[in-house]
Structure 1
């Protein structure tokens, strides 16, 4: 490809195993220290610093200095979406980790994708919002209807503009291979689910764990999953 964006640089940054593990660890939307990311990648702190410098120069992560620590986060939602798409391609092509752990089913069931709900429950939530007429697919773009605005208000989701971020956006889910809901609405719904006490994020993972009453409440609003 002689013209246009050079995808080879981004692909090389994402394709190195240690850097891929670091980016995956940041998919939960939180900022982590260089030491924490070194442990996630299984490399020494010195090696981690080198990798993080490359990711920062390449525009994939941002750095924030707080006290003696450097905190790193994904440079934006688009980086998380690119990682999700790559996971989908890897899953479809059969490139799976050779020793999946016991947490894999929970990760497929419900997980955080940057700042919104993904997995089976995330896809089911978007399906329900479409079936209920609260979101419509208008020529490939998700649009929040008047009923959707009313639902968001009643459910306690603030829909204040967030820069250029769309109100609703489809994000292709690697484990279900269909879309879940991103954008301002998707982030707001997950925040509200946490606030209601329906679910919590398992420490050190991207897994979103629903309590039994929380899952019952979720299914009361979005249907049985």
Structure 2
């Protein structure tokens, strides 16, 4: 048997994935440097040494690129991936603490900090893409709380799963937007992380009270 040959100019899947990632990274750098409006499709392509036609093979336009960056680094990350994970029922308070810890670690990465700065500077906080990402993240967290209510790990009369998801994620999301960005000082970001951890502990005490001892952990 012979190995099928790729068509002319057709990138391998691995190459295509690398090119897409390179374009997203380049776009974020340029958005941060020049602003969203001040960044052109041509400049993004040139940043990684590609033609505009190659870029359009991966993305329909600049908005599609921004949406892809937001999907990768925005709110629909760790906080939104909770409900399907193994061990979710072993110790819900510990699980929530770990979820927040992982999220805070991700949000301290340079690219994640740059994304929030770009959105705040360029008036993109009300974009449909962000709205959809927040809604998707909150829906997954709601499913997590609904699962715990069904399993009897949260009393059914404590609050509806929708309300729990809004209460848990609302403060965290707002604090990220206001303080966990590239323009914030190290001290401001440290205080924001401390505030998010304190919020998590308060939430745990209120929601899981009467459900056995809650272990309070101090994280740095």
Q: Taking structure 2 as the reference length, what is the TM-score of the superposition?
A: 0.27
Name which one, 1 or 2, has greater alpha-carbon Rg: 2
What TM-score, normalized to structure 1?
0.26
- Which structure has greater helix proportion? 2
